[in-house]
Structure 1
Amino acid sequence: MAEDSDPFGFTAAARHYQVSVELLKAISYVESRHKNTAINKGTFDGNPDQGHMQVHSGTWRKKLGEARWKRMLEDPKFSTMIGAWILRGYINAHGNNWNAVCAYHTNYSLEYLQRKAAQTREQDDIDRYKRGSDYVQKVYAAMKMYMDKDTASKYGKEPVEQQRVATAKQEYWGEDDRPLRSSN
């Protein structure tokens, strides 16, 4: 019997939800290092993120229902499909760009987090923006591991334009909005 060359089903999920296969792989790598049994209990509301795509149980468990949730925890391909479905929702809401990637992790776009941090100048908002920005950078770096040179050139510049944004409490770096193109 032939070994499954895509045990996480990245290609099928990317094709089905019309998202970048490299992006799905990168998110899985950053979230869990492709470990389907990964559990992150250190979330903002105490509800764990689970599976290799680190789907937040507090947000998605009820929406998926218990049967799908259990299947997601047991089946890495189904977990990838759920992650791709969630990502597609954020792409639909924010565009096929780094805002959607940030929203996958934080539930908010980079633009929103940046704007809120600049407006409120509250340390919690600045920290939330920094976490979103750091996450996008990690995903971008991981994507480069999965792309060949031809594909990498399609993505253009890194997501961060080193644009300085000052706040009353500290300085932090702003983000721009580089598009992510599917290579499918």
Structure 2
Amino acid sequence: MSCRLIKLSCTALAAFLACICTSAHAADDCFNEAAAYQGVNPWVLRALAWYESKGDAAAIHQNANGSIDVGQLQINSVHFGDLARQGVPHNALIDPCVNVYVAAWLLKQKMVKHGNTWRAIGAYHSETPRARDAYARGIQKVLVTWGQLQSDR
């Protein structure tokens, strides 16, 4: 079954995620398709997954503040309410493809706020300037290591 949708509103996110969950998608397809759907860079999504969990789709992390991070892109529980309102229950985040699509959606929100910038990429992790900037540098290093970005040195 192929689920190719050109444009959907955020409220249609749940229906789209249900469609992809019933399809057999290779992990790479999820990164490429989620990135295309949200208009974000697929290599940035891959770098986020690597930086967050080394690509471990089953990763769960309990944070010191009591929140939890779920899946390869470590979707934080602070987003669970918003996702539930969109029809995406938090237990769906253990599906690798759902996790990638939600991460692409969250990254796109940061890009809408900050533009297509390192600040937006860092804000995927934190809006606090110091943590945001350190995270963005970490993602940049991953992309340079993978040959997807030129080093500025």
Q: How does 1:125-144 map to 2 (within 5 A)?
A: 129=130, 131-144=131-144
Q: Which segments of 5 or more consecutive residues in structure 1 lack a partner in the other structure?
A: 114-128, 159-184
| TM-score, normalised by the number of residues in structure 1 | 0.62
- Please give the alpha-carbon distance, in whole angstroms, between the structure 2 residues aligned to 1:97 and 1:88: 11
- Aligned twin of 1:29: 50
Deviation at 1:102, TM superposition (A): 1.4
SS at match of 2:91: helix
- Aligned twin of 2:118: 98
- Please give the alpha-carbon distance, in whole angstroms, between the structure 1 residues aligned to 2:81 and 2:27: 29
- Please give the alpha-carbon distance, in whole angstroms, between the structure 2 residues aligned to 1:144 and 1:68: 35
Q: Which segments of 5 or more consecutive residues in structure 2 lack a partner in the other structure?
A: 1-23
**Is 1:71 matched with 2:92?**
yes
Q: 1:91 to 1:18 in 2, by over 3 A?
A: same
- The number of residue pairs the alignment matches comes to 128
| TM-score, normalised by the number of residues in structure 2 | 0.74
Q: How does 1:21-170 map to 2 (within 5 A)?
A: 21-43=42-64, 45-57=65-77, 59-65=78-84, 67-73=88-94, 75-106=95-126, 108=127, 113=129, 129=130, 131-148=131-148, 152-153=149-150, 157=152
CA deviations 1:63-115 (Å, max 9, x no partner) are: 11175321122x10110000000000000000111111111101x16xxx2xx
**Is 1:18 matched with 2:39?**
yes
Do the aligned residues in 2 keep the contact of 1:7 with 1:76 (CA within 8 Å)?
no
- Please give the alpha-carbon distance, in whole angstroms, between the structure 2 residues aligned to 1:140 and 1:51: 21
- Please give the alpha-carbon distance, in whole angstroms, between the structure 2 residues aligned to 1:147 and 1:6: 20
Do the aligned residues in 2 keep the contact of 1:37 with 1:52 (CA within 8 Å)?
yes
Task: Work out the percentage of aligned pairs sharing the same amino acid.
Answer: 23
SS at match of 2:66: coil
- Please give the alpha-carbon distance, in whole angstroms, between the structure 1 residues aligned to 2:60 and 2:106: 18
Q: Which moved more, 1:96-105 or 1:60-69?
A: 60-69
- Please give the alpha-carbon distance, in whole angstroms, between the structure 2 residues aligned to 1:8 and 1:77: 9
For the aligned residues, what is the CA RMSD? 2.3
Deviation at 1:41, TM superposition (A): 1.1
- Please give the alpha-carbon distance, in whole angstroms, between the structure 2 residues aligned to 1:145 and 1:19: 20
Deviation at 1:8, TM superposition (A): 6.6
